[in-house]
Amino acid sequence: MKIAMIGHKRIPSREGGVEIVVEQLSKRLVRLGCDVTAYNRSGSHVSGSEFSHEAQNELCGIKIKTVKTPQSKALNAFVYSFFATVKALFGKYDVIHYHAEGPAAMCFIPKLFGIRTVVTIHGLDWQRSKWGGFATKYLKFGEKVAAKHADEIIVLSHAVQEYFKNTYGRETVYIPNGIEPPEPEGSAVIEEKYGIEKNKYILYLGRIVPEKGIHYLMDAYADIKCDMPLVIAGGSSHSQEYFNSLKARANGKNIIFTDFVEGKVLKSLYSNAYIYVLPSDLEGMPISLLEAMSYSNCCLTSDIPECTEVCGKNAVYFKKSNVQSLKEKLEELINNPQEVQKYKNGACDYILSKYNWNSVAQKTLELYKGE
């Protein structure tokens, strides 16, 4: 079966959850005997050109084609997804799989040529505050096009599944993301790089964008007595102004910004944190939360459905957008290491048993075939 992937920025990359999903799903589809082509966008890594990888034509059996794309935030997704779709029309694909609401606006075009289309909604992107007026309207338009024209829609949470049913009367298929087994890393690399020690720092790791609620975490942290530094790991994603405001807010406090991380540094940060905090207002299905649990972290998250669905009873929750609630839960965990260890002990086994990329790939392939 020939499959085209459209919607990610580029693979291999950790620029966002979509990129991780496309890479991991595509690798496993190749192992299942599929012929997979990923249409990458041209340009640099969103966190800076120093994090860009050299362009490739192939990755673990995945064919890679690069589509020239303008760097304008407003036009990027539109131009890329249009030209990627046009290129894909000549590829004799059985299925074109669109990822995210913006690129999904083009899913009606392959339908005109009798090509089966599948759309994965990675979250309700139009709700994200980083987008301006035009981009927000375009993302909402993409969502409507997907609801009307896609042969199948994959959602990552039951909350989004309910949204599509209530808003469009559209049935969707729930296939959550998977997670790879962890590769634990000692603390030497982060001790040398940031001066932080095992079990002696609080970690946020993810994109630095407003909907992740990092400002709540910083305000709560500033209001408690704690010797442990707060480590904020990640790069901006079309949100440099927000990133700068956080750095200004952190002035004089025990807060470390690492910028974008990958490889050994990322693994070491996950492996050695005292607790991991995800204070999001909005999520699709947070890959970083799955990763944090796979590295046996005690996780403290906002009580949005997309987080509580992932963790169940295996994490600690605070009221969304509520700094006081977050502060109280932080203090409880800082003052109760035995409770933290209890959550750490069960996290990895729980998350690996619940979310499996091989299962995701098999279910997705069945959907491609209409089974």
3-state secondary structure string, 185-200? CCCHHHHHHHCCCCCC
Of 3-17, 69-83, 136-150, 311-325, minimum mean pLDDT range: 69-83
What pLDDT score was predicted for residue 92? 96
Mean pLDDT of the chain: 92
What pLDDT score was predicted for residue 85? 97
Question: What is d(CA 252, CA 256) in angstroms, rounded to the nearest whole number?
Answer: 11
- The structure's pTM equals 0.87
Question: What pLDDT digit, counting tens, does each position of 218-267 carry?
Answer: 999 999 999 999 999 998 866 788 999 999 999 878 999 999 999 999 99
CA-closest candidate to residue 105, choices 67, 136, 130:
136
Question: What pLDDT digit, counting tens, does each position of 170-192 carry?
Answer: 999 999 999 999 999 999 999 99
Q: Give the whole-number percent of the chain exceeding pLDDT 90.
A: 79
| Other CB atoms within 10 A of residue 71 CB | 10
What pLDDT score was predicted for residue 46? 53
What pLDDT score was predicted for residue 363? 97
Over residues 321-329, the mean pLDDT reads: 97
CA R_g for the chain: 20
> Which domains occur in the chain, in start order?
2-178+356-369 (3.40.50.2000), 188-354 (3.40.50.2000)
What pLDDT score was predicted for residue 148? 97
Question: What is d(CA 70, CA 350) in angstroms, rounded to the nearest whole number?
Answer: 42
CA-closest candidate to residue 268, choices 199, 175, 339:
199
Q: Residues 80, 99: contact at Cβ < 8 Å?
A: no
Over residues 291-315, the mean pLDDT reads: 96
Q: Give the whole-number percent of the chain exceeding pLDDT 70.
A: 93
Structure tokens at 344: 């750490």
What pLDDT score was predicted for residue 70? 76
Over residues 10-37, the mean pLDDT reads: 93
Question: What is d(CA 322, CA 215) in angstroms, rounded to the nearest whole number?
Answer: 11
Over residues 117-145, the mean pLDDT reads: 81
